[in-house]
Structure formats: structure tokens, C-alpha cells
């Protein structure tokens, strides 16, 4: 028991030394205006390099990922029909597809699927 405690203390001590050295050695000592700017070609930027983030694009991406995961979950349901109880398979599939349809209805009701804006 004492050896495990000793080894743990040594590992923690070595980890703290490595973290301390990494924080000391990683600091930049010289601040350069040109290297801090977003364009390192020597010219001053004419406008901000940060573009406003489109929340609409983010929501469309999330919806695409959700539908992608849904397809990955539906495919095994089709393949497992041969090896499972038909009543249990039907019940599980109907519940799963009902949950997906309710999510689709919610997205449609919230206006996330309106592509015209």
C-alpha cells in the first residue's frame, strides 16, 4: 500500500514539474504587431478578419447531422428483422420512427426547415 502511495506521489510531482516547465517555455516574450495581426503578409487588414457567424447555417448543419445519425440507426433495424421477434421488432421500429417524426414536426413547426430566408 505504501509503495502505491509513493509511486502516485512521484507521478504527481513529475506531472506538476512538466506542466510548470511547459507553461514557462511556451510563453512568448516578444510581442510583435505584425505577427499578432490576422494577415501575416505585411499589409494592414482593410476590414475585420472575423465574419459574423450565421446561426441559420449552424442549425442546418445540426439538422443534417441528426438525419445522418437517423439513417445510421434505421439501417440495422432493417437488417435485424430476420433474427428478432416480429412483434418486438415492429413495436420498437414504430416507436423509433414515431420519435423521429415528432422531431421532424417540431423542427418544421419551429421554422427550421424554411429554406427561403
For residue range 74-104, list pLDDT tens digits in order: 888 888 888 889 999 999 999 999 998 898 8
The pLDDT value given to residue 73:
85
Domain with 19 in it: 2-28
pTM of the model: 0.48
- Assess if residue 41 is contained within a domain: no
**Alpha-carbon torsion, ordered 31, 32, 35, 41, to 10 deg:** 180
Q: In angstroms, rounded to a whole number, what is the distance separating the alpha carbons of residues 29 and 35?
A: 13
Q: Are 19 and 63 members of one domain?
A: no
Q: Confidence band (pLDDT; 50, 70, 90) for 1? A: low
- Assess if residue 38 is contained within a domain: no
The pLDDT value given to residue 51:
66
- Assess if residue 85 is contained within a domain: yes
pLDDT mean over 3-8 = 89
Q: In angstroms, rounded to a whole number, what is the distance separating the alpha carbons of residues 82 and 3?
A: 56
Helix-helix angle 55-79:86-110, to 10 degrees: 170
- Assess if residue 115 is contained within a domain: no
- Assess if residue 84 is contained within a domain: yes
The pLDDT value given to residue 55:
74
Q: Write the pLDDT tens digit of every residue in 18-62.
A: 999 988 887 665 666 656 666 556 565 566 666 677 777 777 788
- Assess if residue 42 is contained within a domain: no
Mean pLDDT of the chain, nearest integer: 80
- Assess if residue 39 is contained within a domain: no
Distances (CA, A) of 23 to 5, 27, 36, 38: 27, 7, 20, 24
Instruction: Count the domains in the chain.
Output: 2
Terminus-to-terminus CA distance in the chain, angstroms? 66
The pLDDT value given to residue 104:
84
Q: In angstroms, rounded to a whole number, what is the distance separating the alpha carbons of residues 73 and 79?
A: 11
Amino acid at each position: 500500500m505504501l509503495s502505491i502511495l509513493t509511486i502516485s506521489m512521484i507521478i504527481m510531482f513529475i506531472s506538476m514539474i512538466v506542466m510548470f516547465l511547459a507553461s514557462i517555455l511556451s510563453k512568448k516574450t516578444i510581442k510583435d504587431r505584425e505577427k499578432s495581426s490576422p494577415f501575416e503578409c505585411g499589409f494592414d487588414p482593410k476590414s475585420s478578419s472575423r465574419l459574423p457567424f450565421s446561426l441559420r447555417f449552424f442549425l442546418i448543419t445540426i439538422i443534417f447531422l441528426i438525419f445522418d445519425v437517423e439513417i445510421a440507426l434505421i439501417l440495422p433495424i432493417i437488417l435485424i428483422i430476420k433474427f428478432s421477434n416480429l412483434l418486438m421488432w415492429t413495436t420498437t421500429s414504430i416507436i423509433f420512427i414515431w420519435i423521429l417524426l415528432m422531431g421532424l414536426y417540431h423542427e418544421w413547426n419551429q421554422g427550421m426547415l424554411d429554406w427561403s430566408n
